Amino acid sequence: MTSSEVQSDDNSSPVASLLPLASASQQPYVSELLSFTLDRLHKEPELLRVDAERIRRQMQEVAVGNYRAFISSADALLSIKEEVSSIDKHLESLISEIPKLSSGCSEFVDSAEQILEKRKMNQTLLANHSTLLDLLEIPQLMDTCVRNGNYDEALDLEAYVAKLSTMHPKLPVIQALAAEVRQTTQSLLSQLLQKLRSNIQLPECLRIIGYLRRIGVFSEYEMRLQFLRCRETWLAGILDDLDQRNAYEYLKGMISCHRTHLFDVVNQYRAIFADDTSGSEENYDGGLLFSWAMHQISLHLKTLKIMLPKITEGGSLSNILEQCMYGAMGLGWVGLDFRGLLPPLFEEAVLNLFSKNMNTAVQNFQLVLDAHRWVPLPAVGFPSSTFGEESQEDVNPPPNLMEHPPLAVFVNGVSAAMNELRPCAPLSLKRILAQELVKGLQGVSDSLLRYNTTRMLRDNESILFLALCRAFLEVKSKEFCPDIVGVPRNLPSIFYRFYMSFSSPTCCQFWRDKLYEC
């Protein structure tokens, strides 16, 4: 760049800053204007007008002298525009039709290839018609074998088709055949598992597990798990068929089922899945059999806990206990002896039964006491009996007890509770049962006290009521105890000591005063 150009650029920069609207083509003229004097600037408009007029006249002269050329050029330009537009339209139409042509050619090529491929396949099919016919009959033949129980033949067909599928993975016919065989194999698998859910013996179990191993659907651990699940479903079905409305019969059936079938299932498992390489089967299967057996024992104990309170007879409860102990002892041969878990369940059932009977005795006493009419009853004579003698014969109730029906009803209730307790009386509950007996005695004493407080008795009625209270507190053991089976001989003293210990001092003094008045 020369010095003059640099100077021109330097001069144009202020001009551009002064006249920002001037275009680049106008910048030289603007720069020239800035160099004019004031007079020259005053003359510039006139000079520009003269130049413009001169140029206009020259253009008119050129146009007049060459008007034919201008007209020809305009006509030629118009014709060229029309031709170019027509060419453009034809080109667009051609371009739009080219993809269709290409697509049609591709479809033709593809169709031709498919036709050739089908022709080759038809030729191959014709050459192997008999072989393919035999292959296509395999699924139907396998299904027939499964329905008729010919599992060995069905598994042979399945193995043959699996081999063909591996050898010819790209043949659609073989793959379709393999898919149908897989569906039939699933039906076979379901049928085998259903057999495991039925009452079958060890030889049949061995055959079924052998078939499952040939199918190869389950791993060894999964196969053991499936075996236990199926056998558990079978056991559950047997228990579901039992009538739960009768708790005693249901428990008898459940205990018998577990004693026989649970024993068989454990032995079947150990015989089928015996592992000669391991010293302990628990190490091999992760304790699967142990966990399953513990689950079954837990369900057994849970059912006992639910159903035992529904048994209302001590003899039935004792019979169930004997059967449970016998069943647990039998299961002990396979390591499932759960006799040590039975006492808490039966202790709770015995306690609930005794408590229920005692509550019933107290409630009956209260009902009879509320409805009792205080009138003297005729004396009832019974043969005397010596209570010091050891006799197993039935004894007669004491006469003074028969004079007071409410107290007789209560004693009969206690006697019934003791009789229900006798066939199944755990020694560990002796203190708790004694507390329940004391609780019943306290209920009777509270009922007597409440009756005396809420009822207005006449003199003769009050005498009879106090006589009942005296019989409740001071009756001798030789007159009372023989009527109660299984109760200690000192029952009247228990009555008295209980009442004197648990009643308030005011109540004790009240009873003493009344008894002394009588």
**For 336-360, what is each residue's pLDDT tens digit?**
888 888 888 888 888 888 889 889 8
CA atoms within 13 A on the CB side of 118: 6
- Cα separation, 360 vs 368, in Å, equals 12
pLDDT of residue 504: 40
Tell me, what's the pLDDT at 230?
Answer: 94
Maximum separation of any 2 CA atoms in the chain, in Å: 174
Q: Is the pLDDT of residue 372 over 80?
A: no
Q: Which two tokens stand for residue 425?
A: 């009386």
The rounded mean pLDDT for the chain is 79
Torsion of Cα atoms, 139 then 140 then 142 then 143, to 10°: 110
Average pLDDT estimate for 44-73: 86
pLDDT of 102 > 50? The answer is yes
pLDDT above 50 (res 392): no
Average pLDDT over residues 125-141: 84
Give the mean model confidence (pLDDT) for residues 6-13: 47
224 or 507: which leads in pLDDT: 224
Please check whether residue 450 is in contact with residue 476, taking contact to mean a CB–CB distance below 8 angstroms: no
Residue of 322, 244, 270, 334 lying closest to 296 (CA atoms): 334
Residue 419 to residues 391, 484, 514, Cα–Cα distance (Å)? 17, 9, 35
Structure tokens belonging to residue 450: 């409440």
If you average pLDDT over each of 110-119, 167-176, 416-425, which comes out highest? Answer: 110-119
Between 281 and 420, the more confident residue is 420
The token pair that represents 477 in the structure block: 């053991």
Name the residue among 503, 487, 486, 402 with its Cα closest to residue 443. Answer: 503
pLDDT at 379: 53
- DSSP symbol at 376: P
Q: For residue 306, give both structure tokens.
A: 């639910």
Out of 185-194, 350-359, 429-438, 481-490, least confident range: 481-490
Q: Is the pLDDT of residue 508 over 60?
A: no
Q: Which two tokens stand for residue 189?
A: 């698998």
Residue type, 109: V
- Residue 461, pLDDT score: 75
| CA distances, 147 to each of 109, 143, 211, 218 (Å) | 50, 6, 15, 22
Q: What is the mean pLDDT of residues 387-413?
A: 65
> What was the pLDDT predicted at 394?
53
**Integer Cα distance of 347 and 330 in angstroms:** 22
Per-residue pLDDT band at 195 (split at 50, 70, 90): very high
Tell me what the mean pLDDT of segment 223-228 comes to.
92
For residue 342, what pLDDT is reported? 87
Distances (CA, A) of 51 to 41, 55, 61, 62, 63: 15, 6, 16, 17, 18
pLDDT the model gives residue 498: 37
Lowest mean pLDDT among 185-189, 405-409, 485-489: 485-489
